[in-house]
Structure 1
Amino acid sequence: MSTTHHHSLRERLAALRGPGTAPRPMDARALAALAANPGCRRRALLDAAGVDKGAVAERLGAPARFGQSRFAFSRGHAFEARVKRDGCVELLRLLGVEDTAADLPDLGAPGPEGRVARTKLALAEARSGVWTLLDHPLLALDVAGSTAYLEPDAVAVAPDGRWTVVEIKSFPILDGGADAMKVGAAARQSAVYVLALDAVEAGRSRTDVLLVCPKDFSNLPTAEWVDVRKQLAVTRRQLGRLTRIEEIAAALPGGTTFDLGYDPDGRTVTRPVDELSAAVDTVPMAYAPECLSTCELAFHCRDRSRAEGRVDALGRGLRGELGELTTVDAVLAAASGLAGEPDDPAVTALRRAAALRAEALAEAAKEGPGCP
């Protein structure tokens, strides 16, 4: 992408976000969720523009019901500080390194571009034969023509030059194992970091990451290696399927913005709800029940999906089996024989199911009201 084109896209995304509104960074968790639903243009565009989807959802009357509590957030920071204290000796121990120190380069620099450049320099300057630990490095990843800045908890550079992503979480490892869903989420998030490191130099990163968690019910750090090859392959493929951000933005009506319209005191939102809702609805969505645990706009999109009678609201599995039948009305019409191609496998299955249901109801009617 040329510098002029990139600048033009940034201006367009800033206009969508609203004048004077600072962009929310697109983190690895958001990218992993986006990769799980690459067909959702709404999330892709709003995330690329740095729109505060939580604030938008709140204004629309459909606030998100997930997220980390303040207590969990503080606990996570305290645990990470313990893992990294005293020159990261505990982290080195978990990496299998005893009685040695590590280089801890300063990664400070002005602006995200400066921090990304400093991280690349630190990776390049890591000394052979010595451990180097990068504390909160900043990585850049191109996502459908927009730059996402990603900040892993740490990246370890081994004496042989291999890079290892370190992910620190506050959920416990109990009796040698952790909650499978939480580990899976951490693996998907870590895969995004590995992908970003591959953009710096392919082949240097390990495809197993070090997951550091509290042991049992204590605050003692322990760790397990997590293989993220599967998540890495899926994330790379799904992000590659995303429609380019500039194409999505170009398809919007002129003047579209997701600005909440804060008044001069910066606290009160003044934009009418119906106006904001209309702006959000100009961007096509791809709602699925899984969105409820990963996207702040999920409840708004679910309401719209239900109002339009979309089968998406029933789950991706069923949506895939129904093929060209995208609404509940179309499904009912196909089942009753009023519409649909007879040689369509979905239509055939629906009509067969309707016939079996009719037979069952007829038998029940014959047996009378005492039938269970």
Structure 2
Amino acid sequence: MDGTRYDVAVLGGGPAGAGLALALRRSTDLRVALFERSTSERFHLGETLPPDSRRLLAQLGVWDAFARQGHLRSMGSCSRWGTSSLAYNDHLRSPWGTGWHLDRARFDGMLADEALRQGADVRTGTAVTGWQPLEGGGYRLFLPVEGDAPRAFVDARFVVDATGRSAVFATSRGARRHTMDRTHGVCGTLPLQPGRGVDALSLVEACEDGWWYSARMPGDQVVFGLMGDRDSLHGLTPKDPEAWRARMAHAPETRQRLEACDFSGASLRAVSANVACLDRLHGEDWLAVGDAACTFDPLSSQGTSQALRSAHQSADAVSRSLQGDTAALRLHEVRVRHQFQEHLRIREGYYRLERRWSGAPYWRNRQQSPAPLPFAAAPNPLSVEKDA
């Protein structure tokens, strides 16, 4: 039995969860616990931070720690989308400098270490196995025990769900995930052949089945993936790499890039990349953040930077809520809804640019009217905050 009482318990140690725990400890004296069930590295498709993420890292107070990690610099991106020619988007004119291709295991570990250094109770390899509301507010969170030991628990005034797409806490409290677009892919990493290299640009290449992504990663690795949907990738499985390589014949830029890689022993995996959101982001003494709240299309390459942005915004909302601001969580939800709607609007424009395979299943599915949002259109958050 533990019985420790915290002000905030954060479930999930990815960038959104660890970043929020860190932000709370830097700006408040709240007692914060961070629970992350995993201790092993998880696969992430081409994690890249854009140059302006330096501002987010500086706000969290971790820019120096991040810079010392030596992540691989990203010089920008190129794409073959809507045309047979390559278009380039480099970082030469960015006032923030270059972006970075991340070693996500090291990056997540750095954020957790910094949260610990700021006074958060960081518990990795610890899965919260259940919870129950407490009289007077907050939750009792149950922890794993061995043998016949008494059931271990901690109490928290407030719970943050940063458990990613599963949103296990929020959905247990009645929230439901609504999917706007069902996207999945077959992805993996390949080592470079000795003496070979690829440039530091991310590559996106549209094809009849969907679109390919590839990028140089730390450790002389290249991450790659073919993103599509159930119709366009029917029959394609991670256990059949030859079928996957055969489809690469229709993506000449990707095929040329991956010629520098060693395909022997290639290990592929299926990944889900649905564009989705919860129908409610908060409730009695809880808030969903990061991918638990909503997931963006991987085409936007905003996964990690959006998680860091969510950490900043959510920490402020949680702190204000615990100080008695009854509107803080509602206004935060309005802001997140507005950002998600803007993402959907911009995303629709990008997919409409590609007309070369308008009759193919993947692109025909993208041209259809999107699924309706499970909530009313969110107004501009600035006008809502002014009215409040």
Structure-1-length-normalised TM-score: 0.25
For the pair shown, the structure with the greater C-alpha radius of gyration is 1
Structure-2-length-normalised TM-score: 0.25
